[in-house]
Every structure is written in C-alpha cells, then in structure tokens.
Chains A and B, each alone.
Chain A
Amino acid sequence: MLSIKPSSSRWAILDCNSFYCSCERLFRPHLRHKPIVVLSNNDGCMISVSHEAKALGLKLGAPVHEVREIIRRHRVQVFSSNYQLYGDLSRRVMRILDELHPDVMQYSIDEAFIDFSHVPLGEEESWADYVCRKVTRETGIPVTIGIGPTKTLAKIASRVAKKEKRRALGLLSSQQIDDCLAAISVEDIWGIGYGSALKLKNIYLRTAKDFRDYSNTALIRSLLTVTGERIRDELRGIDCIEPGEMSEKKMITSTRSFGKRVYDRRELEEAVATYVGFACEKLRAQNSVARGLSVMLRTNPFDEKANYYRNDAQTFLTVASSDTGVFTAKALELVRGLYRPGLAYKKAGVFLFEITPRHEQQLDLLEPELPDRHGLMQAMDVINKRWGRGTIRMAATGTTADWRMLSESRSNKTQLAWNDLVELEAERSRGAHPRSSH
C-alpha cells in the first residue's frame, strides 16, 4: 500500500480557453460558436484553435497550408496574431485574480496558479466557479479552473474540466484522483514530454496512475532525473514543484522566416548565430542550462520552381551550458554540414533541449571544466535589456541582417491606441457592427 502523505495544500490553475481565439472574438461577437484559428506571424502555424475548429480536425501547431481545404469548405476564420491585444487582455485577467487572491503566480500568458489553501474545505469548486464567472463577465474571456492538492494534479483537473466542458473541477478526494489518473496517459501529465513518456511506456507505465504507484524511485530518477521523481510525488499529493522550475517549455526554440531569400552561407551563419543568441538569452533568463542543440534549415516549400530542401542536425555538449559562445561555435559547425549551395533558404531555427536548472548542472568527471562565462553572459543580458536587444552580441551574428523577417500586416484593433479602437456604426436592418479589419 502506498503511503500518501496527506497534503493540506490545494492549488488551482486558471486557464483561458483558446485564449488568442477568445481575444479575437471579444469585439467580433458574430464569431461566437464559429470555427476560428490564429496563426503565428512568421511561419503560418496555428497557435490557437477554437473548440469548433478542433472539431473540424484542425490541430494546434500544424501549418495552415496543410488544411486549406478544410478552412475553405467550413469558412474557418483565420487571424494573424495581435500580441498587443492578447497582452492587454492577459493583464486584465491576471489583475482580477490578484485582486481576489493574495497568492497568484502567473505561469504563462493565459495561465495562472492560485493558492487555494485558505478556501474552506468543500467550497473549492463553487469558489472557482465564482472566479471564472467574474473573469469572463469583466474581460469577456472564457476560462476554466482545475483544482487539486498539488499543481500537477490541478493541471490534470483543468484538462478534465475542459474535456467535460465544465467551468470548474476539483480533484480532491482520493477516489476522484484514482479514477481520473487511471484515465490519463503519461504523456498528458504536466512536465512529461514525448521522450519521457516513451521511457515510461518502455517500463510498462502507461497511465498517470501506473506512474504514481510505481515505487522504484531509483529507476525513475535514472530515466527522468530528479524532476521525474518530483512529478511522481506530486501525483501522490506531495506539493513539491514551484511553477518557475517547470520551465515553460522543455525546449527553447528560436526560429524565424527570413524577409528575403538567402543564398549565401555567411548570411545563414549570421542568422543562426543571432537565433542562438536569442535562445541562450531565454535559457539564462529562466536560470537554466541546456545540453542539446539542434539547427534546422529549409527552403520555401511553396516555391514550385525549386526543389524543397529541409534538414536538421543535432549535437550534444559534454557539459550543459548557457554560454552563447559555446552554442554559437557548435551551431556554426552544424550549419556548415547542412548547407547546400545554390538553394534559396527561407527559414532557419535553433532548438535547445535537455534543459535543466542551472544549480543542478552535472559536471562530467572526464571532461575538464569549461571556462564558464556566466558572469560575462549575465553582463551581456543586462546591457541588452537596458539598451535594446542585440546591442552586444557575438561577432558571428554579423552586421548586415538582411535576412530579418518582414513585418506582416495584421488586425490592429486593440485597446492601446486611440486611433485604432473598435468602431461602432449606426444600427441598420441588423444593427451596428464593428468594422472588421479582415
């Protein structure tokens, strides 16, 4: 029998439903109950998919050009992203939570953890329901709250709530938790990525319940590091993860389309070196180090006159690092291996993975310690923050930057500039409507 330390803690996670889509709907009420998607601004991937669009088979993260037929046939509304609007609405949501609760931790643009330990026992769901109604009424953004003894269980509760179309759902009794974990597969647990899920399935742990009840701690630790062990403990009801340490992503990416076709290897190297700089900056900002590096290059897949080329390559450092110089040197080696002359490159990407918190950095006994330039890197970040991104950078990033992304046109209706407010016309046969910029 498992000994589950009864935890007095209770956590709630508030999550905005299809957040970017909901923002686009706020001033366009005719889009309520209609399928809509929001695209990333440079590569045309769907970064928010409304519930109705999901029902048509549209998937988060997929490139929109692959589903053009569905979009045309079902008249799915497509938006490019308007981050000013999303940022404004996100701040409003977070501020309402702050006013209601002393202890709110924003976790991403559309999620926040709320310490529910002072909410009277048995009243968690009704209180959460009140919070949801208030946020939705005041901001117009529909939200869901999941509650559990730990953050990991709250995340699972939120997932179930969305599936069951409930505003608020608590996983609080051990019976509820048991039933629910048996129905959740390991890859759907917060913090368990695709690779970790495979490792768990290899030892026949398929559901969250299998994982929770598995007692070979040493094996879990060797497969998934100490983080995996803590995720398991959280499933057991032991509150032990801070949202900050579950870095928002298990992978840091910096990828962009070029504003023009790039043929020259030197220019590609400059672009990749710049992306390495951005990625390492993010890595240091979350106080982490990475061991894995992957670089991707591709040409334009829609160019019918030329053959499509896409390739990527990976490498691992012996010792995890966050040093821009270390990663730049490795990345440039990879670019040289991937580069094929004579092609018109459209996009490059840099991915850092095997990310761990800096203080857990494992030194390899066989490798002499790298001269770690953490101090230098921090100084670089401070200067760039103060004087603008790219003030100080690695020489490999060059000074031409012709490859930089062209800015796109997008809807500009926000609440942040007097000259692009939502517009109201006189009522005609059907009533006034905001002039849509689409």
Chain B
Amino acid sequence: MRVAGFPSPADEYGLVSLSLTELMIPRPTSTFFIRVVEDLAPNIKRQDILVVDRSLKITEGCLALIVNQGELCLRRALQKNSEWWLISLTQGAPLRLGEDEEAILWGVVTYVIHQTLK
C-alpha cells in the first residue's frame, strides 16, 4: 500500500502483531497437542486441547501426561521425600514416577485451550 499525506505517528513502532504460537509453543519440536474427549477435571473439559511439552522436567503442582499400564492419563505432580507422586484428578491411587515404576512421564502440560463460545 502506498501512503499519501502525513505519515502515521505509530509507524516507527513497527508492525505489532501478537502470535499465540510464539506465546504457547516456544519449543515446537517437542510440543504436541492432545484433544480431551471427556471432562477430566472442573477446569479441563471435553473438547479442550492440551498443549504438551516433552522437553520439560516435572515440577511441583504441574499437570503431567503420564503413561500408566500402557495408557496415557493426566495427573497432578507432587514431590514427597524426594520422590515424585502423581495424584489423580478424580479418584484413583497416587502413582510413583520412574522408568520402572507405575508411571512414566510422557510430557508436561503447559496450556489448556478452552473455547468458551460454542
């Protein structure tokens, strides 16, 4: 587009356009999306999309996607006596994390994308 007349005073600030990708997917090589198909917790509902980063380490209170008995499931991580435990979001016994244990870490959930307008 050619600009005629006076230059806009905003020009020198450049083009500011926010990118959700930049915000939510800083590491695209290790980021995966998972679709939630049933309500999992009060704030994680059917149709939500989980943004999961495999490169992150587990941290206190984080939501972790884990593998338990060969199945993927979502749990909350808590540290106790230098061991990581994965607490169920609904019912179910806590699982201990480790390569030879009941739960293996698949990735850490960084965002839950929830659409409010259906």
Chain A interface residues (CB < 8 Å from chain B) = 27, 29-32, 92, 95-96, 99, 137-140, 415, 418, 421-427, 430-435
Contacts and interface: CB of A to CB of B under 8 A. Distances in A.
9 contacts: A29-B72, A138-B27, A140-B54, A415-B33, A418-B33, A424-B72, A427-B73, A431-B92, A432-B71
Nearest to A34: B70
Nearest to A416: B33
Contact of A29 (B29, B30, B106): B106
A435 B37 contact: yes
Given A29-B67, A431-B73, 9 more contacts: A29-B71, A30-B70, A140-B54, A421-B49, A422-B34, A422-B72, A427-B89, A432-B40, A432-B74
Interface residues of B, number: 32
Contacts of B88: 427
Contact of A92 (B29, B34, B38, B71): B29
Most B Cβ at <10 Å: residue of A99, A415, A432: A432
B29 A424 contact: no
Interface in B25-62: 27-30, 32-40, 49-50, 54-55
Interface in B47-102: 49-50, 54-55, 65, 67-74, 88-90, 92
A423 B69 contact: no
Q: Which of A92, A415, A427: most chain B Cβ within 10 A? A: A427
B40 A426 contact: yes
Given A29-B70, A29-B72, A426 B29 contact: no
A422 B52 CA distance: 12
Contacts of A425: 37-38
Given A92-B29, A433-B71, A424 B36 contact: yes
Contacts of A99: 29
A94 B92 CA distance: 39
A421 B68 CA distance: 20
B30 A138 contact: yes
Contacts of A92: 28-30
Interface of B: 27-30, 32-40, 49-50, 54-55, 65, 67-74, 88-90, 92, 104, 106
Contacts of B33: 415, 418, 421-422
A29 B67 CA distance: 7
Contacts of B49: 418, 421
A30 B106 CA distance: 13
B38 A426 contact: yes
Contacts of A427: 40, 73-74, 88-90, 92
B72 to A, nearest CB: 6
B98 to A, nearest CB: 15
Nearest to B32: A415
Given A92-B30, A138-B29, A424-B40, A430 B69 contact: yes
A251 B76 CA distance: 53
B35 A96 contact: no
Contacts of A435: 37
A137 B40 CA distance: 26
A418 B35 CA distance: 9
A427 B69 CA distance: 12
A426 B34 contact: no
A434 B72 contact: yes
A426 B44 CA distance: 10
Given A421-B34, A424-B36, A139 B73 contact: no
B40 to A, nearest CB: 6
B70 A424 contact: no
Contact of A431 (B35, B36, B69): B69
A415 B49 CA distance: 12
B72 A27 contact: yes
B39 A426 contact: yes
Contacts of B69: 30, 430-431
Contacts of A96: 29
A92 B32 CA distance: 11
